[in-house]
Amino acid sequence: MAKASSKFYCKECGYESAKWMGQCPSCRAWNSFVEEPVLSASKVAGFGGKKASGSGRPPRQRPVKIDEVKLEQEDRMPTGFRELDRVLGGGIVVGSLVLLGGDPGIGKSTILLEVSRNLAAESNKKVLYISGEESLKQIRMRANRITEITGDISFMAETNIENIIETIEEEKPDFVVVDSIQTMYTETVTAAPGSVSQVRESASQLLRVAKENGIAIFLVGHVTKDGTVAGPKVLEHMVDVVLYFEGDNGGTLRILHGQKNRFGSTNEIAVFEMTGDGLREVLNPSELLLNGRPLHASGSVVTCGMEGTRPLLIEIQGLLVPSAFNLPRRTANGIDYNRLNMLIAIIEKRLNLNIGKYDAYVNITGGLRIAEPSMDLGIVLSLVSSYMDIEIPDDVMVFGEVGLSGEIRAVSNAEQRVEEASRLGFDRIMMPAFHAGRIDARNLKDVQILSVRTLKEAMAVLRK
Ligand code: TYD
Ligand code: MG
Protein backbone atom coordinates (compact mmCIF):
# COMPACT_ATOMS: atom_id res chain seq x y z
CA MET A 1 0.00 0.00 0.00
CA ALA A 2 1.29 3.46 -0.86
CA LYS A 3 2.32 5.45 2.17
CA ALA A 4 0.02 8.42 2.77
CA SER A 5 2.23 11.38 1.92
CA SER A 6 2.45 14.10 4.50
CA LYS A 7 4.92 16.75 5.44
CA PHE A 8 5.63 19.00 8.36
CA TYR A 9 4.92 22.70 8.11
CA CYS A 10 5.95 25.52 10.39
CA LYS A 11 2.82 27.20 11.74
CA GLU A 12 4.60 30.54 11.88
CA CYS A 13 6.23 30.89 8.50
CA GLY A 14 5.02 27.96 6.41
CA TYR A 15 8.49 26.34 6.16
CA GLU A 16 8.22 22.81 4.79
CA SER A 17 10.17 19.83 6.06
CA ALA A 18 10.12 16.06 5.60
CA LYS A 19 10.62 15.45 9.32
CA TRP A 20 9.49 17.05 12.53
CA MET A 21 11.87 19.57 14.08
CA GLY A 22 11.88 21.27 17.45
CA GLN A 23 12.94 24.63 16.03
CA CYS A 24 12.15 26.03 12.62
CA PRO A 25 15.41 26.65 10.71
CA SER A 26 13.75 29.47 8.80
CA CYS A 27 11.99 31.64 11.39
CA ARG A 28 13.56 30.11 14.55
CA ALA A 29 10.18 29.51 16.19
CA TRP A 30 10.13 26.66 18.71
CA ASN A 31 7.70 23.78 18.59
CA SER A 32 5.91 25.19 15.57
CA PHE A 33 5.83 22.15 13.26
CA VAL A 34 2.56 20.43 12.44
CA GLU A 35 2.04 17.41 10.21
CA GLU A 36 -0.23 17.91 7.23
CA PRO A 37 -0.94 16.07 3.98
CA VAL A 38 1.30 17.19 1.15
CA LEU A 39 -0.07 19.37 -1.67
CA SER A 40 0.17 17.80 -5.09
CA ALA A 41 1.71 20.33 -7.44
CA SER A 42 -0.74 19.63 -10.28
CA LYS A 43 -3.66 20.63 -8.09
CA VAL A 44 -2.19 23.81 -6.72
CA ALA A 45 -3.42 26.87 -8.53
CA GLY A 46 -0.79 29.57 -8.43
CA PHE A 47 -1.25 33.30 -8.81
CA GLY A 48 -0.99 34.52 -12.41
CA GLY A 49 -1.83 31.20 -13.94
CA LYS A 50 -5.22 29.74 -14.74
CA LYS A 51 -6.56 26.98 -12.56
CA ALA A 52 -4.30 24.03 -13.34
CA SER A 53 -6.56 21.89 -15.45
CA GLY A 54 -5.90 19.11 -17.96
CA SER A 55 -4.33 21.52 -20.45
CA GLY A 56 -1.10 21.86 -18.41
CA ARG A 57 0.72 25.13 -18.03
CA PRO A 58 -0.95 28.52 -18.24
CA PRO A 59 -0.70 30.75 -21.36
CA ARG A 60 2.58 32.64 -21.61
CA GLN A 61 2.56 36.35 -20.77
CA ARG A 62 4.21 38.97 -22.95
CA PRO A 63 6.59 41.44 -21.27
CA VAL A 64 5.38 45.05 -21.55
CA LYS A 65 6.86 48.51 -21.07
CA ILE A 66 5.74 50.35 -17.97
CA ASP A 67 3.89 53.07 -19.89
CA GLU A 68 1.89 50.45 -21.76
CA VAL A 69 0.30 49.45 -18.46
CA LYS A 70 -3.14 51.03 -18.41
CA LEU A 71 -4.27 52.57 -15.16
CA GLU A 72 -8.00 52.38 -14.67
CA GLN A 73 -9.71 55.70 -14.17
CA GLU A 74 -11.51 54.67 -11.04
CA ASP A 75 -9.16 52.30 -9.32
CA ARG A 76 -10.02 53.22 -5.72
CA MET A 77 -13.34 52.75 -4.00
CA PRO A 78 -14.17 55.00 -1.03
CA THR A 79 -15.29 52.92 1.95
CA GLY A 80 -17.61 55.57 3.35
CA PHE A 81 -15.25 55.93 6.31
CA ARG A 82 -12.80 58.78 5.78
CA GLU A 83 -10.54 57.38 8.47
CA LEU A 84 -10.39 53.91 6.94
CA ASP A 85 -9.77 55.39 3.50
CA ARG A 86 -6.74 57.18 4.88
CA VAL A 87 -5.33 54.00 6.41
CA LEU A 88 -5.83 52.22 3.09
CA GLY A 89 -4.00 55.04 1.29
CA GLY A 90 -7.12 56.59 -0.28
CA GLY A 91 -9.79 53.93 -0.54
CA ILE A 92 -9.94 50.27 -1.50
CA VAL A 93 -7.80 49.45 -4.52
CA VAL A 94 -9.65 47.47 -7.17
CA GLY A 95 -8.27 43.94 -7.41
CA SER A 96 -6.52 44.04 -4.05
CA LEU A 97 -6.48 41.38 -1.35
CA VAL A 98 -6.67 42.80 2.16
CA LEU A 99 -6.26 40.90 5.41
CA LEU A 100 -7.98 42.24 8.53
CA GLY A 101 -6.76 40.72 11.78
CA GLY A 102 -7.90 41.29 15.34
CA ASP A 103 -9.00 39.70 18.60
CA PRO A 104 -12.36 37.94 18.72
CA GLY A 105 -15.23 40.33 19.36
CA ILE A 106 -13.25 43.43 18.51
CA GLY A 107 -15.58 44.30 15.63
CA LYS A 108 -14.07 42.85 12.45
CA SER A 109 -17.35 41.49 11.12
CA THR A 110 -19.13 44.67 12.15
CA ILE A 111 -16.79 47.03 10.34
CA LEU A 112 -16.79 44.93 7.18
CA LEU A 113 -20.56 44.75 7.19
CA GLU A 114 -20.66 48.54 7.50
CA VAL A 115 -18.13 48.97 4.70
CA SER A 116 -20.20 46.57 2.56
CA ARG A 117 -23.31 48.61 3.27
CA ASN A 118 -21.54 51.88 2.40
CA LEU A 119 -20.13 50.51 -0.85
CA ALA A 120 -23.50 49.16 -1.92
CA ALA A 121 -25.61 52.10 -0.83
CA GLU A 122 -23.33 55.06 -1.53
CA SER A 123 -21.06 53.92 -4.38
CA ASN A 124 -23.45 51.58 -6.19
CA LYS A 125 -21.04 48.68 -5.92
CA LYS A 126 -22.02 45.05 -6.09
CA VAL A 127 -21.06 43.40 -2.82
CA LEU A 128 -20.85 39.77 -1.74
CA TYR A 129 -20.46 38.99 1.95
CA ILE A 130 -19.41 35.40 2.65
CA SER A 131 -19.47 34.15 6.20
CA GLY A 132 -18.06 30.86 7.36
CA GLU A 133 -18.69 31.68 11.00
CA GLU A 134 -22.21 32.97 11.24
CA SER A 135 -25.51 31.83 9.80
CA LEU A 136 -27.48 34.14 7.56
CA LYS A 137 -29.85 34.71 10.47
CA GLN A 138 -27.05 35.93 12.70
CA ILE A 139 -25.82 38.30 10.00
CA ARG A 140 -29.36 39.61 9.61
CA MET A 141 -29.53 40.26 13.34
CA ARG A 142 -26.27 42.17 13.24
CA ALA A 143 -27.40 44.12 10.19
CA ASN A 144 -30.57 45.11 12.01
CA ARG A 145 -28.49 46.65 14.76
CA ILE A 146 -26.45 48.75 12.38
CA THR A 147 -28.80 50.39 9.89
CA GLU A 148 -30.90 49.52 6.96
CA ILE A 149 -29.03 47.61 4.28
CA THR A 150 -29.83 48.82 0.80
CA GLY A 151 -28.29 48.37 -2.62
CA ASP A 152 -26.84 45.39 -4.42
CA ILE A 153 -25.50 43.33 -1.53
CA SER A 154 -25.88 39.58 -1.11
CA PHE A 155 -24.91 37.23 1.69
CA MET A 156 -23.75 33.67 1.62
CA ALA A 157 -22.94 31.22 4.40
CA GLU A 158 -20.27 29.05 2.78
CA THR A 159 -16.88 27.57 3.59
CA ASN A 160 -15.94 25.73 0.42
CA ILE A 161 -13.47 27.76 -1.64
CA GLU A 162 -14.39 26.10 -4.93
CA ASN A 163 -18.05 27.06 -4.43
CA ILE A 164 -17.06 30.55 -3.39
CA ILE A 165 -14.86 31.06 -6.43
CA GLU A 166 -17.55 29.76 -8.77
CA THR A 167 -20.03 32.18 -7.24
CA ILE A 168 -17.60 35.09 -7.50
CA GLU A 169 -16.84 34.32 -11.14
CA GLU A 170 -20.54 34.05 -11.93
CA GLU A 171 -21.74 37.07 -9.98
CA LYS A 172 -18.76 39.33 -10.65
CA PRO A 173 -19.12 41.51 -7.54
CA ASP A 174 -16.88 44.56 -7.01
CA PHE A 175 -16.21 43.80 -3.39
CA VAL A 176 -16.10 40.52 -1.49
CA VAL A 177 -15.73 39.84 2.24
CA VAL A 178 -14.50 36.41 3.35
CA ASP A 179 -15.16 36.05 7.08
CA SER A 180 -12.88 34.30 8.08
CA ILE A 181 -10.05 32.71 6.12
CA GLN A 182 -9.50 30.16 8.91
CA THR A 183 -12.95 28.64 8.37
CA MET A 184 -12.49 28.14 4.63
CA TYR A 185 -11.30 24.95 2.98
CA THR A 186 -10.33 23.97 -0.52
CA GLU A 187 -10.69 20.47 -1.94
CA THR A 188 -7.14 20.57 -3.32
CA VAL A 189 -5.83 20.04 0.20
CA THR A 190 -6.99 17.34 2.56
CA ALA A 191 -5.86 19.06 5.76
CA ALA A 192 -8.46 20.50 8.14
CA PRO A 193 -9.73 24.10 7.82
CA GLY A 194 -7.51 26.52 9.69
CA SER A 195 -4.38 24.43 9.11
CA VAL A 196 -1.29 25.92 7.52
CA SER A 197 -1.77 24.40 4.09
CA GLN A 198 -5.51 25.10 3.97
CA VAL A 199 -5.15 28.74 4.90
CA ARG A 200 -2.33 29.20 2.44
CA GLU A 201 -4.09 27.42 -0.42
CA SER A 202 -7.47 29.06 0.16
CA ALA A 203 -5.86 32.50 0.25
CA SER A 204 -3.81 31.89 -2.88
CA GLN A 205 -6.92 30.85 -4.79
CA LEU A 206 -8.76 33.96 -3.64
CA LEU A 207 -5.73 36.02 -4.61
CA ARG A 208 -5.92 34.64 -8.14
CA VAL A 209 -9.63 35.47 -8.44
CA ALA A 210 -9.07 38.97 -7.09
CA LYS A 211 -6.29 39.77 -9.55
CA GLU A 212 -7.85 38.13 -12.59
CA ASN A 213 -11.25 39.73 -12.19
CA GLY A 214 -10.28 43.04 -10.61
CA ILE A 215 -12.30 42.32 -7.48
CA ALA A 216 -11.31 43.69 -4.09
CA ILE A 217 -11.42 40.94 -1.48
CA PHE A 218 -11.20 41.45 2.28
CA LEU A 219 -10.18 38.43 4.35
CA VAL A 220 -10.84 38.32 8.06
CA GLY A 221 -8.01 36.61 9.92
CA HIS A 222 -7.99 35.34 13.49
CA VAL A 223 -5.08 36.29 15.65
CA THR A 224 -3.04 34.04 17.89
CA LYS A 225 -2.29 34.63 21.56
CA ASP A 226 0.69 36.82 20.77
CA GLY A 227 -1.35 38.98 18.44
CA THR A 228 -0.26 37.94 14.96
CA VAL A 229 -2.60 36.59 12.31
CA ALA A 230 -3.03 32.86 12.84
CA GLY A 231 -1.77 30.66 10.05
CA PRO A 232 1.46 30.95 8.19
CA LYS A 233 3.37 34.18 7.81
CA VAL A 234 3.14 33.53 4.07
CA LEU A 235 -0.45 34.73 4.30
CA GLU A 236 0.84 38.17 5.23
CA HIS A 237 3.31 38.04 2.35
CA MET A 238 0.61 37.06 -0.11
CA VAL A 239 -1.90 39.83 0.51
CA ASP A 240 -1.51 43.47 -0.54
CA VAL A 241 -2.57 45.04 2.73
CA VAL A 242 -2.55 43.78 6.32
CA LEU A 243 -4.72 45.71 8.77
CA TYR A 244 -5.04 45.15 12.50
CA PHE A 245 -8.02 46.11 14.55
CA GLU A 246 -7.23 46.73 18.21
CA GLY A 247 -9.01 48.09 21.23
CA ASP A 248 -8.41 49.10 24.80
CA ASN A 249 -9.40 46.37 27.19
CA GLY A 250 -13.09 46.65 27.93
CA GLY A 251 -13.36 50.11 26.39
CA THR A 252 -15.29 51.18 23.34
CA LEU A 253 -12.39 52.74 21.46
CA ARG A 254 -11.09 50.78 18.48
CA ILE A 255 -7.95 51.54 16.53
CA LEU A 256 -7.29 50.27 13.05
CA HIS A 257 -3.76 50.40 11.77
CA GLY A 258 -1.89 49.14 8.75
CA GLN A 259 0.88 46.60 9.24
CA LYS A 260 1.70 46.34 5.57
CA ASN A 261 0.32 48.34 2.67
CA ARG A 262 1.38 48.08 -0.96
CA PHE A 263 -0.72 51.14 -1.80
CA GLY A 264 0.00 53.57 1.01
CA SER A 265 1.75 54.34 4.24
CA THR A 266 1.57 52.06 7.27
CA ASN A 267 1.85 54.97 9.69
CA GLU A 268 -1.78 55.97 9.59
CA ILE A 269 -4.34 54.93 12.14
CA ALA A 270 -8.10 55.22 12.18
CA VAL A 271 -10.02 55.57 15.41
CA PHE A 272 -13.50 54.12 15.82
CA GLU A 273 -15.94 53.92 18.65
CA MET A 274 -18.17 50.87 19.19
CA THR A 275 -21.69 52.00 19.91
CA GLY A 276 -24.98 50.19 20.39
CA ASP A 277 -25.65 50.50 16.70
CA GLY A 278 -22.34 49.73 15.08
CA LEU A 279 -18.95 51.37 14.75
CA ARG A 280 -18.65 55.14 14.38
CA GLU A 281 -15.50 56.75 13.14
CA VAL A 282 -13.98 59.28 15.49
CA LEU A 283 -12.91 62.28 13.45
CA ASN A 284 -11.56 64.16 16.41
CA PRO A 285 -9.67 61.61 18.52
CA SER A 286 -7.75 64.18 20.59
CA GLU A 287 -10.99 65.48 22.01
CA LEU A 288 -12.17 61.98 22.84
CA LEU A 289 -8.84 60.99 24.38
CA LEU A 290 -8.81 64.01 26.67
CA ASN A 291 -12.43 63.59 27.63
CA GLY A 292 -12.83 62.94 31.36
CA ARG A 293 -9.35 64.14 32.24
CA PRO A 294 -9.02 64.80 35.96
CA LEU A 295 -8.57 68.51 36.60
CA HIS A 296 -6.38 69.71 39.45
CA ALA A 297 -4.80 66.28 39.98
CA SER A 298 -1.09 65.76 40.38
CA GLY A 299 0.63 63.30 38.08
CA SER A 300 -1.49 64.11 35.04
CA VAL A 301 -0.13 65.95 32.03
CA VAL A 302 -1.18 66.38 28.40
CA THR A 303 1.29 65.73 25.64
CA CYS A 304 1.10 65.23 21.91
CA GLY A 305 2.18 62.10 20.09
CA MET A 306 2.18 61.50 16.36
CA GLU A 307 0.38 58.53 14.83
CA GLY A 308 1.45 58.68 11.22
CA THR A 309 0.69 62.13 9.95
CA ARG A 310 -1.82 62.88 12.67
CA PRO A 311 -1.08 64.59 15.95
CA LEU A 312 -2.91 63.06 18.92
CA LEU A 313 -3.24 64.82 22.23
CA ILE A 314 -3.06 62.32 25.03
CA GLU A 315 -2.98 62.36 28.76
CA ILE A 316 -0.06 60.75 30.56
CA GLN A 317 -0.60 59.74 34.14
CA GLY A 318 2.29 59.04 36.46
CA LEU A 319 2.20 57.74 39.98
CA LEU A 320 5.11 57.40 42.42
CA VAL A 321 4.59 55.69 45.76
CA PRO A 322 7.19 54.53 48.30
CA SER A 323 7.94 50.90 47.62
CA ALA A 324 7.39 48.18 50.20
CA PHE A 325 10.08 46.05 48.55
CA ASN A 326 13.78 46.24 47.94
CA LEU A 327 13.22 46.09 44.23
CA PRO A 328 10.60 48.72 43.35
CA ARG A 329 7.86 47.92 40.86
CA ARG A 330 7.77 49.75 37.58
CA THR A 331 4.82 49.54 35.24
CA ALA A 332 4.65 51.16 31.83
CA ASN A 333 1.28 51.09 30.06
CA GLY A 334 1.44 52.35 26.52
CA ILE A 335 5.08 53.42 26.66
CA ASP A 336 8.36 51.56 26.40
CA TYR A 337 9.42 49.98 29.70
CA ASN A 338 13.13 50.58 29.14
CA ARG A 339 12.48 54.19 28.29
CA LEU A 340 10.68 54.57 31.63
CA ASN A 341 13.68 53.14 33.48
CA MET A 342 15.97 55.54 31.66
CA LEU A 343 13.80 58.55 32.45
CA ILE A 344 13.64 57.60 36.14
CA ALA A 345 17.44 57.43 36.18
CA ILE A 346 17.61 60.87 34.56
CA ILE A 347 15.22 62.32 37.15
CA GLU A 348 17.36 60.91 39.97
CA LYS A 349 20.64 62.18 38.61
CA ARG A 350 19.71 65.49 36.98
CA LEU A 351 16.97 66.71 39.28
CA ASN A 352 18.47 65.19 42.43
CA LEU A 353 15.16 63.61 43.36
CA ASN A 354 15.58 60.35 45.18
CA ILE A 355 12.83 58.36 43.49
CA GLY A 356 14.76 55.13 42.98
CA LYS A 357 13.05 53.60 46.00
CA TYR A 358 9.58 54.39 44.70
CA ASP A 359 7.18 52.19 42.78
CA ALA A 360 6.55 53.96 39.48
CA TYR A 361 3.48 53.60 37.31
CA VAL A 362 2.98 55.36 33.99
CA ASN A 363 -0.17 55.06 31.98
CA ILE A 364 -1.30 56.46 28.66
CA THR A 365 -5.04 56.84 28.72
CA GLY A 366 -7.21 55.50 25.92
CA GLY A 367 -5.21 52.27 25.59
CA LEU A 368 -2.87 53.75 23.01
CA ARG A 369 0.73 52.65 22.62
CA ILE A 370 3.06 55.40 21.61
CA ALA A 371 6.77 54.77 21.28
CA GLU A 372 8.02 58.24 20.50
CA PRO A 373 10.77 60.19 22.24
CA SER A 374 8.62 63.32 22.18
CA MET A 375 6.65 61.82 25.07
CA ASP A 376 9.70 61.95 27.38
CA LEU A 377 9.06 65.39 28.78
CA GLY A 378 5.45 64.50 29.56
CA ILE A 379 6.46 61.30 31.30
CA VAL A 380 9.10 63.04 33.42
CA LEU A 381 6.76 65.88 34.39
CA SER A 382 3.95 63.50 35.32
CA LEU A 383 6.27 61.54 37.61
CA VAL A 384 7.79 64.60 39.22
CA SER A 385 4.35 66.15 39.65
CA SER A 386 3.17 63.00 41.39
CA TYR A 387 6.29 62.89 43.59
CA MET A 388 6.00 66.50 44.70
CA ASP A 389 2.21 66.35 44.70
CA ILE A 390 1.95 69.57 42.73
CA GLU A 391 -0.48 69.67 39.86
CA ILE A 392 0.45 70.70 36.35
CA PRO A 393 -1.93 73.46 35.20
CA ASP A 394 -4.73 72.17 32.93
CA ASP A 395 -4.05 74.63 30.15
CA VAL A 396 -0.49 73.39 29.54
CA MET A 397 0.58 70.94 26.86
CA VAL A 398 4.18 69.69 26.84
CA PHE A 399 6.34 67.78 24.40
CA GLY A 400 10.05 67.13 23.84
CA GLU A 401 12.69 64.45 24.05
CA VAL A 402 14.79 64.23 27.21
CA GLY A 403 18.48 63.43 26.82
CA LEU A 404 20.73 61.69 29.36
CA SER A 405 22.18 64.97 30.61
CA GLY A 406 18.71 66.30 31.25
CA GLU A 407 18.65 68.44 28.11
CA ILE A 408 15.39 68.88 26.19
CA ARG A 409 15.87 67.94 22.57
CA ALA A 410 14.07 68.73 19.35
CA VAL A 411 11.46 66.34 17.92
CA SER A 412 9.71 66.01 14.57
CA ASN A 413 6.45 67.69 13.50
CA ALA A 414 6.59 70.39 16.18
CA GLU A 415 4.35 72.72 14.21
CA GLN A 416 1.56 70.18 13.88
CA ARG A 417 1.65 69.38 17.58
CA VAL A 418 1.36 73.05 18.43
CA GLU A 419 -1.55 73.53 16.04
CA GLU A 420 -3.44 70.58 17.49
CA ALA A 421 -2.98 71.90 21.03
CA SER A 422 -4.05 75.40 20.07
CA ARG A 423 -7.08 73.98 18.23
CA LEU A 424 -8.20 72.28 21.41
CA GLY A 425 -7.79 75.41 23.45
CA PHE A 426 -4.50 74.96 25.32
CA ASP A 427 -3.05 78.32 26.36
CA ARG A 428 0.53 77.37 27.05
CA ILE A 429 2.78 74.94 25.23
CA MET A 430 6.09 73.82 26.69
CA MET A 431 8.52 72.77 24.00
CA PRO A 432 12.24 72.40 23.26
CA ALA A 433 13.95 75.78 22.83
CA PHE A 434 14.99 74.65 19.36
CA HIS A 435 11.41 74.83 18.14
CA ALA A 436 10.31 77.83 20.14
CA GLY A 437 12.15 80.25 17.86
CA ARG A 438 11.01 78.55 14.68
CA ILE A 439 7.30 78.11 15.25
CA ASP A 440 5.25 80.40 13.08
CA ALA A 441 3.27 82.21 15.76
CA ARG A 442 1.10 84.20 13.38
CA ASN A 443 -1.84 81.81 13.55
CA LEU A 444 -1.37 81.22 17.24
CA LYS A 445 -2.18 84.52 18.84
CA ASP A 446 -3.60 83.19 22.07
CA VAL A 447 -0.93 80.61 22.70
CA GLN A 448 2.01 81.27 24.96
CA ILE A 449 5.13 79.31 24.14
CA LEU A 450 7.27 78.11 27.04
CA SER A 451 10.71 77.40 25.67
CA VAL A 452 12.88 75.04 27.73
CA ARG A 453 16.48 73.86 27.37
CA THR A 454 16.85 71.58 30.37
CA LEU A 455 14.71 69.57 32.74
CA LYS A 456 15.50 72.06 35.50
CA GLU A 457 13.95 74.84 33.43
CA ALA A 458 10.94 72.63 32.73
CA MET A 459 10.31 72.32 36.48
CA ALA A 460 9.16 75.95 36.40
CA VAL A 461 5.76 74.76 35.21
CA LEU A 462 5.35 73.01 38.56
CA ARG A 463 5.85 76.17 40.56
CA LYS A 464 3.00 78.50 40.98
P1 TYD B 1 -17.88 41.41 15.88
O2 TYD B 1 -17.89 42.30 14.70
O3 TYD B 1 -18.74 40.20 15.84
O4 TYD B 1 -16.39 40.98 16.23
P5 TYD B 1 -15.40 40.02 15.43
O6 TYD B 1 -16.00 39.74 14.11
O7 TYD B 1 -14.14 40.80 15.40
O8 TYD B 1 -15.26 38.81 16.27
O9 TYD B 1 -18.24 42.32 17.14
C10 TYD B 1 -18.90 41.80 18.18
C11 TYD B 1 -18.89 42.69 19.36
O12 TYD B 1 -19.30 44.01 19.09
C13 TYD B 1 -19.87 42.13 20.34
O14 TYD B 1 -19.21 42.01 21.58
C15 TYD B 1 -20.99 43.11 20.39
C16 TYD B 1 -20.40 44.38 19.90
N17 TYD B 1 -21.33 45.17 19.09
C18 TYD B 1 -21.79 46.39 19.58
O19 TYD B 1 -21.43 46.82 20.68
N20 TYD B 1 -22.62 47.15 18.80
C21 TYD B 1 -23.04 46.74 17.58
O22 TYD B 1 -23.81 47.45 16.92
C23 TYD B 1 -22.58 45.47 17.09
C24 TYD B 1 -23.03 44.97 15.76
C25 TYD B 1 -21.72 44.74 17.88
MG1 MG C 1 -16.69 37.92 13.33
**Ligand 1 pocket test target in 108, 110, 129, 280 with most atoms within 8 Å of CB:** 110
pLDDT of residue 226: 64
Which atom number of ligand 1 is nearest to the Cα of residue 245?
7
**Residue 249, pLDDT score:** 62
In this structure, which ligand is nearest to the CA of 146?
Answer: 1
Measured in Å, residue 107 CA sits from the centre of ligand 1 at 5
**What is the mean pLDDT for each group of 10 consecutive residues in the chain (464 residues)?**
69 83 86 77 47 66 85 77 90 93 90 94 93 91 85 92 94 94 89 84 93 94 71 80 82 85 84 90 83 86 86 92 92 93 95 93 85 94 94 92 95 90 89 87 77 92 71
pLDDT of residue 55: 60
Tell me if 117 CB under 6 Å of ligand 1. Answer: no
Decide whether any atom of ligand 1 lies within 6 Å of the 280 Cβ. no
Q: For residue 42, what pLDDT is reported?
A: 46
Whether this prediction's pTM lies above 0.85 is answered by no
Q: Is the CB of 180 under 6 A from ligand 1?
A: no
pLDDT of residue 75: 79
Please give the distance, rounded to the nearest whole angstrom, from the Cα atom of residue 392 to the centre of ligand 1.
39
Going by alpha carbons, the residue nearest to atom 9 of ligand 1 is: 107
**Cα 335 to middle of ligand 2, angstroms:** 30
Residue whose CA is at the smallest distance from ligand 1 atom 14:
105
3-class secondary structure per residue, the chain: CCCCCEEEEECCCCCEECCCCCECCCCCCECCEEEEECCCCCCCCCCCCCCCCCCCCCCCCCCCCHHHCCCCCCCEECCCCHHHHHHHCCCEECCCEEEEEECCCCCHHHHHHHHHHHHHHHCCCCEEEEECCCCHHHHHHHHHHHCCCCCCEEEEECCEHHHHHHHHHHHCCCEEEEECHHHCECCCCCCCCCCHHHHHHHHHHHHHHHHHHCCEEEEEEEECCCCCECCCCHHHHHCCEEEEEEECCCCCEEEEEEEEECCCCCCCEEEEEEECCEEEECCCHHHHHHCCCCCCCCCEEEEEEEECCEEEEEEEEEEEEECCCCCCCEEEECCCHHHHHHHHHHHHHHCCCCCCCEEEEEEEHHHCCCCCHHHHHHHHHHHHHHHHCCCCCCCEEECCEECCCCEEECCCCHHHHHHHHHHCCCCEEEEEHHHHCCCCHHHCCCCEEEEECEHHHHHHHHCC
Measure 103 CA to ligand 2 centroid, in angstroms. Answer: 9
- Nearest alpha carbon, ligand 1 atom 10: 105
Per-residue pLDDT, 356: 87
